[in-house]
Amino acid sequence: MEINFNVLSKSIPYSSPKVSPGGMKHNSAVSAVLTDDNSTMTSLEEDVGTEIIGLVKLDPALEPYLDHFKYRMKRYVDQKKLIEKYEGALEEFALGYLKFGFNREEGCIVYREWAPAAQEAQVIGDFNGWNGSNHSMEKDQFGVWSIRIPDVDSNPAIPHNSRVKFHFKHGNGDWIDRIPAWIKYATADATRFAAPYDGVYWDPPPSERYHFKYPRPPKPKAPRIYEAHVGMSSSEPRVNSYREFADDVLPRIKANNYNTVQLMAVMEHSYYGSFGYHVTNFFAVSSRSGNPEDLKYLIDKAHSLGLQVLVDVVHSHASNNVTDGLNGFDIGQSSQESYFHTGERGYHKLWDSRLFNYANWEVLRFLLSNLRWWLEEYKFDGFRFDGVTSMLYVHHGINIGFTGKYHEYFSEATDVDAVVYLMLANNLIHKIFPDATVIAEDVSGMPGLGRPVSEGGIGFDYRLAMAIPDKWIDYLKNKNDEEWSMKEVTSSLTNRRYTEKCIAYAESHDQSIVGDKTIAFLLMDKEMYSGMSCLTDASPAVERGIALHKMIHFFTMALGGEGYLNFMGNEFGHPDWIDFPREGNNWSYDKCRRQWNLADSEHLRYKFMNAFDRAMNSLDEKFSFLASGKQIVSSTDEDNKVVVFERGDLVFVFNFHPDKTHEGYKVGCDLPGKYRVALDSDAWDFGGHGRVGHDVDHFTSPEGIPGVLKTNFNGRPNSFKVLSPAHTCVAYYRVNESMSETEDDQTAISNEPLPTANIEESDEELKDSLHSNISNIGQTVVVSAKETDKDLKDSPSLRTSDVVHAERDDSDSDALDDDD
């Protein structure tokens, strides 16, 4: 289609940046949109190829949108060149926190603030009795206010941990106080209800600084993510601290064999109930749980346990709080003199929050520097970008039903300013820390989101597979067990873009919020409070609930993506929703905590779900199936409610039937040999009935003519038979005959943590395998009996899910109506 580039983004007059007298380079008038018609894309540096057609080569169906990709790549290259020309390099541009805010220089403290709309400005605080008459600031031609505050008796004039604010004169003559935009710590008086926040000058002496002791752990082959909220991680009804989380919760995460922690609500937010998504102070840690040194202790402790730590970063919008947040700098000026767009474009009507102007030079500096700050100051290992869908489109996804048709992604609705910012952000992150993990929360399924910038992609490592929890909720709320479609649920899990990695999850914090229900709650409801004792027989609801809880999470993990995520407490079926303190619950913390004792109690059935969660992660630690490109679904048996698939070296058999146990059930597989149980949800350790024999050898039989797929069983050249009990899932591994009997016996997964040895088939072997017929990048192959010769009903041909050459429904939601 022909794209009207004038509609994609308004051109903003360009003026050459100049160097300010203090050596700082600024230009609030420089836009992300370069309007010089003579600019070209002849040289695209080391990170961008000279022919931007990588995405189109991967997916020829994108050919009609080639002009769009060329346009946005030109915008990216031109913006990057501007930054390099006037700031030195993208990495230097992202060191804004060394120039703006409060910084120590020789014999003084220097404070700078970008506030072009202010008429006069002062710095006030405890250090001057909140009287700024002797601390007036000077404004340069770029709208940057600055002041040098000399030391007093060789000591900083502003004491460490003392309160400060930016005091400036409004255009109407009024003086107002705001928290400095680049402040690194902010606090509120805990003794006063709804007290406003104050900026805090944070510069502890060396003896009080936390010094990192442990290196970052190696990047895992596939992330197994534990999503956590520090504040609500205590078992007591109160706000937990960073140090308590580090000492009490991190060992639990490690014991359950996760390799990555994703921390929510780290960036300061004045409203606790926002779950951390309405950020007020972007460079400050949430003071409810401690100070900056406490957070560093947490991250260092995680690294000592071999855990990566990701942080939720919210650059999709900002709190509309004018007293405590960035919105307080917006006093009616033009968009080029503000962090936000003006008018309707600057306001998110569903989130009641402000929207950034990503075409503004100083906004780019602020946001890119924010990313570098969290990576370098706190040693985070990556990010989960929140609300990416809202950024990608000028309609923010509100009331939009994404169907997967490509015109929905590449049109006048695309916010190219935001796309360019995200490309710059991913480029920056991976240059500073090549092993960073960066995840996008996007419900639309935009093609290229998870491909490198050099191909014309946006550069994320993973996208959250947000359609999966929606499917499980739909089934649990609206279908009885007999109505579950094996093909439909399997399709939901495998429906992801070829070569773009996803993080699969059955439920996250979204499903835990008050008014919604977790999977465990949907399955067992009130019996979670009365029927979980091991001292009595389980009721049918509890029996079914625990069985399906294990199956749903394992099915999601094994088939849904290249990584896995679980929200804190859901691994053991935490019975309560999350309800932050608010007027409606009398400001109670009772439902804003995690009852760890439930999983620890030997007489409660919660321990079974927790043990199975640990075993699932152990299975991936041992076999690395999440990182494998081999994913083949050989059977979706609707009559018997059984799904059979291969992932990596394992064969998975899921029996979703509520009461049918299948004896001698025939399972197709790739390689011949002897198979044994690697993980069994029906094991006694996991609250099952122990019906599957773990000491049984399953020998394969050849099926049909080698290499002639239509003669094979379900498209697989070999098969073996298994016992498949109702509501049970079992993973099988192929026995390595060269291993000793003792070594092989240790391969089966119990509820004990396992060593980190990996057994994996090389990518080249997979690539060359006649029977796998699969790309080593990770394409799902589905074998279907419905598309074969009717005479070969039992020997179907192989059908590849062709996500490269067709527009598929990669979208994750009918509409975006929530920012978390």
Query: Three-state SS for 94?
Result: coil
Q: Who contacts 673 (Cβ-Cβ below 8 Å, separation ≥6)?
A: 699, 700, 734, 735, 737
How far is CA 327 from its chain centroid? 26
Strands in 22-81 per DSSP E:
25-26
Contacts of residue 740, defined as CB under 8 A and 6 or more positions apart, other chains included, come to none
Q: Of the listed 227, 337, 417, 441, which one is catalytic?
A: 441
Strand ranges, E, within 568-641: 631-637
Angle at which helix 66-87 crosses helix 416-432, to 10 degrees, equals 60
Residue pointed to by tokens 């389980």: 538
In angstroms, rounded to a whole number, what is the distance separating the alpha carbons of residues 515 and 513? 6
CB neighbours of residue 203 within 10 Å: 18
SS3 81: helix
Active site (annotated) includes residue 386: yes
Q: How far apart are CA 200 and CA 512, in angstroms?
A: 34
With residue 474 as reference, give the H or E element that holds it: helix 467-478
- Reduce the DSSP state of residue 485 to 3 states and report it: coil
d(CA 820, CA 818): 6
CA 361 to chain centroid, in Å, comes to: 27
DSSP state of 279: -
Nearest of 197, 186, 125 to residue 159 by alpha carbon: 125
47, 113, 386, 620: the catalytic one is 386
Count of residues making up the chain: 820
Question: What is the amino acid identity at position 579?
Answer: D
Any catalytic annotation for residue 441? yes
Contact yes or no for 280/324 (Cβ under 8 A): yes
Give the contacts of 172 (CB within 8 A, at least 6 positions apart). none
Sequence-separated (6 or more) residues with CB below 8 Å from residue 697: 674, 675, 676, 735
Residue in 105, 159, 174, 101 with CA at minimum distance from that of residue 128: 159
Measure the CA–CA gap between 257 and 275, rounded to whole angstroms.
26
Distance CA 270, CA 355 (A): 18
Confirm if 725 and 683 have CB atoms less than 8 A apart: no
In angstroms, the CA 83 to CA 419 distance is: 17
Return all residues near 184 (Cβ < 8 A) that are at least 6 apart: 97, 101, 102, 200, 202, 283, 284, 292
361-377 and 416-432 are packed helices; what angle lies between their axes, rounded to 10 degrees? 30
Given phi > 0 = left and psi -120 to 50 = alpha, else beta, which region is 290? left
**Residues 144/24, Cβ–Cβ less than 8 Å:** yes
Cα–Cα distances in angstroms (integers) from residue 683 to residues 282, 536, 611, in the given order: 47, 19, 11
Q: What residues are labeled active site?
A: 386, 441
